[in-house]
Chains A and B, each alone.
Chain A
Amino acid sequence: AQKITQTQPGMFVQEKEAVTLDCTYDTSDPSYGLFWYKQPSSGEMIFLIYQGSYDQQNATEGRYSLNFQKARKSANLVISASQLGDSAMYFCAMREGHAGGGNKLTFGTGTQLKVEL
């Protein structure tokens, strides 16, 4: 089974609208971390947001928020007020186990987001 599943290969959103990028995960480890990264065409992976499995609140970072539904094993990324510069590939990733063992991440296949005028 895939550990990280991103079912949307491509998404379009109008500028200034909100968009949700889906991510589901599979692990039997009670301790894990979930990450979202943005990869523009330059190729660099840019960290956006992190959610720990024991965190009670959904993570937020500026225009990014993570809709964490533990029972459903989903960790969707919500981008509010989309901007043209948000056009990029977005990856969901998971670290299994406590971070003390290092941030060895398993990535999904990504969602290509295109923001339109």
Chain B
Amino acid sequence: GAGVSQTPSNKVTEKGKYVELRCDPISGHTALYWYRQSLGQGPEFLIYFQGTGAADDSGLPNDRFFAVRPEGSVSTLKIQRTERGDSAVYLCASSQSNTGELFFGEGSRLTVL
């Protein structure tokens, strides 16, 4: 499809497990963003990539969270030793440039039991 694709759409895991969430941006979009949306809240910024490098990772809550974008396209958000408080919808967005409009995916819903 032409939009931002996120997999899995739903992930249920147990406390302490490792999780990877994948984002496939719109082709040609150089900027990629990860946001987290908890129930009843607006999205919260996690990290922003321009190309392969993380231009701003100030929103990552702690060192259990890490994200990569090795070839400047697909990105993976990695969460180690998951906690129940990590349960949320993780949204990915991409834009044509660092000033462009953000196009969001439908999110990956993570539930930590």
Contact = CB atoms under 8 A, between A and B. Distances in A.
A interacts with B:
yes
Sort chain B's interface into a size bin. 20 to 34
Nearest to B91: A45
Interface residues of A, number: 23
B113 to A, nearest CB: 21
Contacts of A101: 55-56, 98
Contacts of B44: 107
B42 A108 contact: yes
A86 to B, nearest CB: 18
A104 B41 contact: no
Contact of B98 (A44, A47, A102, A106): A102
A37 B59 CA distance: 20
B45 A45 contact: no
A91 B56 contact: no
A103 B33 CA distance: 9
A56 interface: no
Contacts of A91: 42-43
A104 B100 contact: no
B6 to A, nearest CB: 10
Interface string B47-70: 010100001100100000000000
A104 B48 contact: yes
B24 interface: no
Nearest to A50: B101
B101 A93 contact: no
B55 A102 contact: yes
A103 B42 contact: no
17 contacts: A43-B89, A44-B106, A44-B107, A45-B91, A100-B98, A101-B55, A102-B31, A102-B50, A102-B98, A103-B31, A103-B48, A103-B95, A105-B35, A105-B102, A107-B43, A109-B40, A109-B41
